Chains A and B, each alone.
Chain A
Amino acid sequence: MPDTSGASLIAVPSGGGFPVEAAAETRASVTGAPAFQHSRIHRMADRWAHLAFLACSLLVVGLIGGILFFLASKGLATFWPMAGSTGRALSFSEVFLSTDWAPSSDRFGILPFIAGSLGVTGLALLIAAPTGTLTGVFIAKLAPPWMRNLMRQVMDLLVGIPSVVYGIFGLTVVLPLVSRTWLAEAPASGFAVSAVILAVMIVPTIVSLSTDAFESLPASLDEGAQALGSSRWQAIWHVLIPAARPRLLTATVLGLGRAIGEAMAVQMVIGNNPQWMALMRESTDRAPFLRALFTPAATLTTELVQELPNTAAGSTWNNVLFAMGLLLYLLTMVLILATRRLGRGKEA
């Protein structure tokens, strides 16, 4: 049991760690303050409450393990025969290294979805990381108080908007708008629009974390730079951003985590085409890059939303989909551990 009182000489029975030996004896009623009854019942309640709070915490720890266990029990059935699984076992290479996704003809390559997730997340970060970080520095160091307040409220609202509403906005406003330009023909769904929508969704995360990062820097850094004759921007660019770098990276990694796990908004605008890699390879367009941005595609999350309801539990198809979920979960864990690493780098 973690105990704080080990360090102090006077151990309080309830483990509070405060030197209260004298005060505990005096009756408080003398001073007119509320008198706390310190009977055996209360001491027992104290102990049981401690256990109850501990149980709540352990439940959270158990959940982390439980999610891993249940996802693995389904997802790993893709590769090894397991109880309750009726599908055939696949090899790692035919799942992770193949671009061929054709469940009805027994081919389960999930590379297009991994590439799709990475692609759309990368594009979204390309937009959201610089703008989010700069907005963070703007709020923390440049904006007048009214603007700071306004930006806080804007970010609060942006983070509170449900993903399906982002999705419907993309579907009914952004896609028609883009398909009217020279960029793409209707429906214009694909990486570009998904990434823009995703960027707006993850920007609040990056902004609020990087604002905190800049606000927690000692004022002497900023003042020192300006005393050396730097302009406002030079101080930001040469001193503040490097000093806050570990926490800015943490902000970006958490934004990445949000982007890669987002399902509904992306599913509504990306076009849901598992064969997007093949389509892109065959296309003989003259502007391949632009074409790639507006080809209907699919990601790990969108494919799960799209196909999981149609598959029978225990089939190979179903197992592979759960393996994709497991992959997302493992990725989350890696990202969180990465933020830990970054945080430790800051102290060193």
Chain B
Amino acid sequence: MRAVPAFRRSRSSKLVDRLMRGVLWGIAILFVVVLILFVGAILKQGWPVLNLSFLTKMPETLDAGGGIKPQIFNSLYLVVLSLSLSLPVGLGAGIYMAEYAGKGRALNFLRLCIETLAATPSIVLALFGMIVFVQAMGWSFSIRSGALTLALLNIPVITRVTEISLMAVPRELKEASYGLGATKLQTILKVALPYAATGILTGLVLTAGRAFGESAILVFTAGTNASAQFPDFRLTVPGETLSVHLWYVTSDGTLPDAREIAAGTAAVMILVLLTLNLLVRLVDRAIRRRTR
């Protein structure tokens, strides 16, 4: 036990107090300003490029004036595919951790694994996807390689969200269900999951946002080319997404208008993410109003 510090209320300590409060406010406001400048700069750069033809034209390979139509499609397609792959696994693992695993070593170890997977850098997941799906399975750079590897990124997040949302279900509700003679599965499916659904949904939207912005994984698994057909639902073709396109045109540098295309793509991505964020907020507010 440490000795109780003696506090002196001198003039200097009051001065320090006021100073440090100012510093704390300053740092916080700095972050607000950084965000506003950031979003402002991205939108301002992208605004002149953003128009309907940019969004609905096919990209060019050598000339200026290309659009991002297939990239928008690929981004959405990959998000949907990867989510539908990771949702069952994430839900299942989350349910297991919240309802079955108990409080012992097993849960601890599981949680360690989830945390490790969540903290694994996406470039490492990309390498794994490249070895397994691109090379060993012989799928090369394709939508299916990308979707499967991207699912690895989503799984820990969905698991966490499911676990936390299920933990928040009041014990009485579950006990009442057991009291009515329900089996454990019935209790989970008909009582716990509906109660936790809104929390899980919010987490899903955030996961979708993360998958939408992911680039490192997709560069090495879905490739940097987009199919010339539109819309191309085949799983075997390369699927360049918006974020990969943004990176690729910037670092490749063969396009004369790479700057403009990158700026426009960045603005589109920011707008999509702002919309998603607003959506989460509205859902959240609706839930709070309902539960009150």
A residues near B (Cβ < 8 Å) are 2-4, 12, 14-16, 18, 20, 23-24, 26-28, 33-36, 38, 42-43, 45-46, 49-50, 52-57, 59-61, 63-64, 66-67, 70-71, 73-74, 131, 134-135, 137-139, 142-143, 147, 150-151, 153-158, 160-165, 167-169, 171-173, 200, 203, 225, 228-234, 236-239, 254, 257-258, 260-264, 267-268, 301, 304-305, 308-309, 313, 322, 325, 328-329, 332-333, 335-336, 339-340
Contact status A2-B178, CB under 8 Å: no
Out of A28, A142, A229, A261, name the residue touching B124 (CB < 8 Å). Answer: A261
B185 within 8 Å of A (CB atoms): yes
- Expressed in whole angstroms, the Cα–Cα distance for A267 and B246 within the complex equals 13
Contact status A2-B101, CB under 8 Å: yes
Contact status B93-A57, CB under 8 Å: yes
Minimum CB–CB distance for A276 against chain B, Å: 18
Closest residue of chain A to B131 (Cβ to Cβ) is A70
Whether A229 contacts B9 in the complex (CB less than 8 A), given A60-B156, A161-B38, A263-B122, comes out as yes
Query: Contacts of B122 on A, CB cut-off 8 Å?
Result: 261, 263
B47-55, B61-69, B226-234, B263-271 - the one binding chain A: B263-271
Out of A4, A236, A239, name the residue touching B5 (CB < 8 Å). Answer: A239
Query: Contacts of A131 on B, CB cut-off 8 Å?
Result: 27, 30-31
B240 within 8 Å of A (CB atoms): no
Query: Contacts of A239 on B, CB cut-off 8 Å?
Result: 5
Contact status B180-A35, CB under 8 Å: yes
Beyond contacts A138-B25, A233-B16, A313-B135: 10 other A-B pairs, Cβ-Cβ < 8 A, are A35-B180, A46-B186, A60-B113, A138-B24, A155-B31, A171-B250, A263-B121, A268-B247, A301-B121, A309-B219
- Expressed in whole angstroms, the Cα–Cα distance for A163 and B210 within the complex equals 10
Contact status A23-B213, CB under 8 Å: no
Interface-central residue, B8, B90, B113, B206, by most chain A CB under 10 Å: B113
B99-132: which have CB < 8 Å to A?
99-104, 106-107, 109-110, 112-117, 119-125, 127-128, 130-132
Closest residue of chain B to A20 (Cβ to Cβ) is B178
Out of A49, A56, A225, name the residue touching B88 (CB < 8 Å). Answer: A56
B200 within 8 Å of A (CB atoms): no
Minimum CB–CB distance for B78 against chain A, Å: 13
9 residue pairs of the A-B complex, CB under 8 angstroms, read A16-B178, A20-B178, A23-B180, A35-B180, A60-B117, A63-B152, A138-B27, A157-B274, A304-B123
- Expressed in whole angstroms, the Cα–Cα distance for A261 and B42 within the complex equals 24
- Expressed in whole angstroms, the Cα–Cα distance for A64 and B120 within the complex equals 9
Interface of A is mostly: helix
Query: Contacts of A70 on B, CB cut-off 8 Å?
Result: 128, 131-132
Query: Contacts of B214 on A, CB cut-off 8 Å?
Result: 162
Contact status B27-A135, CB under 8 Å: yes
Query: Contacts of B91 on A, CB cut-off 8 Å?
Result: 56
Minimum CB–CB distance for A89 against chain B, Å: 19
Query: Contacts of A138 on B, CB cut-off 8 Å?
Result: 24-25, 27-28
Chain B 172-193 near chain A by CB (<8 Å), digits 1 or 0: 0011011111111111101000
- Expressed in whole angstroms, the Cα–Cα distance for A4 and B98 within the complex equals 12
Minimum CB–CB distance for A312 against chain B, Å: 11
Contact status A231-B9, CB under 8 Å: yes
* B contact residues, total (Cβ < 8 Å): 111
Query: Contacts of A74 on B, CB cut-off 8 Å?
Result: 127, 131
Whether A2 contacts B124 in the complex (CB less than 8 A), given A64-B116, A147-B28, comes out as no
Out of A2, A64, A67, A237, name the residue touching B107 (CB < 8 Å). Answer: A2
Contact status A232-B184, CB under 8 Å: no
- Expressed in whole angstroms, the Cα–Cα distance for A223 and B83 within the complex equals 46
Chain B 68-87 near chain A by CB (<8 Å), digits 1 or 0: 00000000000000000000
- Expressed in whole angstroms, the Cα–Cα distance for A72 and B185 within the complex equals 40
Whether A59 contacts B120 in the complex (CB less than 8 A), given A70-B131, A154-B31, comes out as no
Minimum CB–CB distance for A260 against chain B, Å: 7
Contact status B24-A34, CB under 8 Å: no
Minimum CB–CB distance for B129 against chain A, Å: 10
Q: Nearest 5 A-B pairs (CB), nearest first?
A: A261-B121, A162-B213, A56-B92, A53-B96, A231-B17
Whether A301 contacts B123 in the complex (CB less than 8 A), given A2-B100, A333-B116, comes out as yes
Contact status B92-A332, CB under 8 Å: no
Contact status A164-B180, CB under 8 Å: no
Contact status B127-A322, CB under 8 Å: yes
Minimum CB–CB distance for A253 against chain B, Å: 10
Query: Contacts of A264 on B, CB cut-off 8 Å?
Result: 215-216, 219, 247
- Expressed in whole angstroms, the Cα–Cα distance for A119 and B186 within the complex equals 53
Whether A160 contacts B277 in the complex (CB less than 8 A), given A143-B28, A165-B270, comes out as yes
Whether A134 contacts B23 in the complex (CB less than 8 A), given A38-B183, A254-B119, comes out as yes
Out of B6, B14, B93, B132, name the residue touching A60 (CB < 8 Å). Answer: B93
Closest residue of chain A to B107 (Cβ to Cβ) is A2
B137-178: which have CB < 8 Å to A?
152, 155-156, 159, 174-175, 177-178
Query: Contacts of A156 on B, CB cut-off 8 Å?
Result: 277
Whether A56 contacts B120 in the complex (CB less than 8 A), given A33-B180, A168-B266, A172-B259, comes out as no
B291 within 8 Å of A (CB atoms): no
Minimum CB–CB distance for A302 against chain B, Å: 9
B287 within 8 Å of A (CB atoms): no
Contact status A57-B20, CB under 8 Å: no
- Expressed in whole angstroms, the Cα–Cα distance for A268 and B253 within the complex equals 13
Out of B27, B100, B180, B243, name the residue touching A162 (CB < 8 Å). Answer: B243
Minimum CB–CB distance for B160 against chain A, Å: 11
Contact status B210-A160, CB under 8 Å: yes
Closest residue of chain A to B216 (Cβ to Cβ) is A263
Contact status B13-A36, CB under 8 Å: no
Contact status B21-A232, CB under 8 Å: yes
Contact status A325-B123, CB under 8 Å: yes
Contact status A169-B178, CB under 8 Å: no
